């Protein structure tokens, strides 16, 4: 992929002197690079820059590109000079590159969502022929479907997790209640939090259906014809419904630093996809901040291991204290936070967001803190 050339591309040069305090070029970079199909904006940026999330700041000033936020396969990028970037547009025959591979986050774009509460949502009360489960081609009977119309499409969803602080996540029962005792396991490795609030309820899409009949004088329920639409799971009584949205998520992500209003906000890792407590590069995590806090798609954060407090064995050699504590106390030495990884947000809700771990120095654990990506 890397190509070296002695010729200077016949396009205007872009000096990055104005970004000298923020943008640093990686040492040992190639003279030129031809963008390939399958590349990602983040991976290309990481080859050239020490801080990949600053790439849009450079690209936006490039006069050769009509849309400064997009690069395409066939574009030629040159760093023949340490302080200059040259870009020669390619044939524009392929789709533009994204910051991340969509396939890695697709389930969280299409199948997952977070809402403020679940008790008021319409719910499946029974199934065709009084079945225990139903799927495509069968019908479900729904209560409390206010304002629905025949022909309207609804997604059948199942509450899975409650996100909150100080307990980061708690499993839910079939009716949306917190499973008793499910949050106790977090006590041993989650640092105390100043925030004590419920952040939202995660919903997993089970199926999709169309309203074919509304309640009438003889029936209290609406009839939902299940359609499946690929990958659907069996519907059961107690599942909830939400309207199908036309465009509920973005398909293009542009890395950038957090908004100023997030400064000082306590943001924690709430959960790690398909893992109990830890994950690494290309794993999806949930963060305890969302659009209400100034987090938007493309926001980049750094993730840090919480400050630890260890027993001072030199001063108190006979101490029986645990050697690693999440809280300070007499006879302990406080250690600094430790950098673990960078992550980029790709979907936001009110108080929760999903992010993809881009690269890491060590595993990311539930409870880790999220900070500005430039934190040292």
pLDDT digit string, tens, across residues 222-264: 999 998 765 568 999 999 999 998 777 777 778 889 999 998 8
What would the pLDDT profile of 61-78 be if each residue is shown by its tens digit? 455 555 556 778 888 876
Neighbours of 328 (CB within 10 A): 11
- Looking at the chain, which residues constitute the CATH 2.40.10.410 domain(s)? 260-371
Query: String of b and e for 257-286 (b: at least 16 CB within 10 Å)?
Result: bbeeebeeeebbbbbbbebebebeeebbbb
Cis peptide before 296 (omega within 30 of 0): no
CB 88 within 8 A of CB 75: yes
- Select from 84, 200, 213, 53 the least CA-distant residue to 141: 213
* pLDDT confidence tier of residue 29, bands split at 50, 70 and 90: low
What would the pLDDT profile of 132-160 be if each residue is shown by its tens digit? 999 999 999 999 998 889 999 999 999 99
CB 25 within 8 A of CB 73: no
Does residue 16 surpass a pLDDT of 50? no
Give the pLDDT of residue 60.
Answer: 53
pTM, full prediction: 0.82
- Written as six digits, the tokens of 371 are 């900070």
Helices and strands (DSSP H and E) totals, the chain: 3, 23
Helix (H) or strand (E) holding 286: strand 284-287
- Whole-angstrom distance, CA of residue 206 vs CA of residue 111: 8
- Written as six digits, the tokens of 233 are 């799971």
* CATH number assigned to the domain covering 260-371: 2.40.10.410
CB 310 within 8 A of CB 325: yes
Helix, strand, or coil here: 44?
helix
- Average pLDDT for 179-207: 83
- Whole-angstrom distance, CA of residue 282 vs CA of residue 289: 20
**Percent of residues, the chain, with pLDDT higher than 90:** 40
Q: Which residues contact 180 (CB under 8 A, 6 or more apart)?
A: none
What percent helix, strand, coil does the chain show, rounded to 5?
10, 35, 55
CB 119 within 8 A of CB 144: no
The lowest-confidence range among 75-79, 83-87, 94-98, 221-225 is: 83-87
């Amino acid at each position: 992929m890397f190509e070296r050339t002695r010729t200077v591309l016949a396009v205007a040069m872009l000096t990055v002197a104005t970004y000298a305090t923020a943008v640093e070029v990686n040492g040992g970079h190639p003279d030129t690079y031809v963008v390939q199909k399958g590349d990602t904006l983040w991976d290309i940026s990481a080859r050239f820059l020490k801080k990949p999330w600053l790439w849009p700041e450079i690209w936006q000033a490039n006069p050769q590109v009509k849309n400064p936020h997009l690069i395409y396969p066939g574009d030629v990028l040159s760093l023949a000079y340490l302080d200059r970037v040259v870009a020669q547009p390619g044939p524009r025959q392929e789709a533009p590159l994204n910051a991340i591979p969509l396939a890695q986050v697709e389930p969280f774009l299409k199948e997952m969502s977070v809402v403020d509460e679940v008790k008021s949502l319409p719910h499946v009360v029974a199934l065709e022929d009084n079945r225990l489960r139903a799927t495509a081609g069968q019908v479900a009977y729904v209560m409390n479907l206010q304002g629905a119309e025949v022909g309207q499409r609804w997604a059948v969803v199942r509450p899975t997790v409650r996100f909150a602080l100080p307990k980061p996540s708690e499993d839910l029962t079939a009716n949306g209640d917190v499973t008793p005792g499910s949050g106790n396991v977090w006590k041993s490795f989650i640092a105390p939090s100043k925030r004590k609030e419920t952040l939202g309820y995660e919903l997993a899409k089970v199926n999709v259906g169309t309203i074919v009949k509304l309640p009438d004088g003889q029936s209290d329920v609406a009839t939902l014809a299940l359609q499946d639409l690929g990958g659907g799971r069996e519907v059961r009584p107690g599942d909830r419904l939400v309207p199908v949205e036309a465009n509920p998520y973005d398909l293009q992500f542009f890395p950038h630093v957090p908004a100023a209003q997030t400064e000082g906000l306590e943001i924690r890792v709430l959960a790690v996809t398909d893992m109990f407590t830890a994950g690494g590069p290309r794993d999806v995590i949930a963060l305890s901040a969302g659009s209400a806090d100034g987090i938007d798609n493309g926001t980049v954060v750094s993730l840090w291991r919480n400050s630890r407090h260890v027993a001072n064995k030199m001063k108190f050699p006979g101490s029986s204290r645990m050697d690693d504590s999440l809280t300070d106390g007499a006879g302990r030495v406080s250690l600094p936070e430790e950098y673990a990884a960078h992550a980029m947000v790709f979907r936001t809700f009110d108080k929760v967001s999903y992010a993809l771990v881009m690269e890491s120095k060590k595993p990311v654990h539930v409870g880790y803190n999220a900070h500005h990506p430039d934190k040292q």
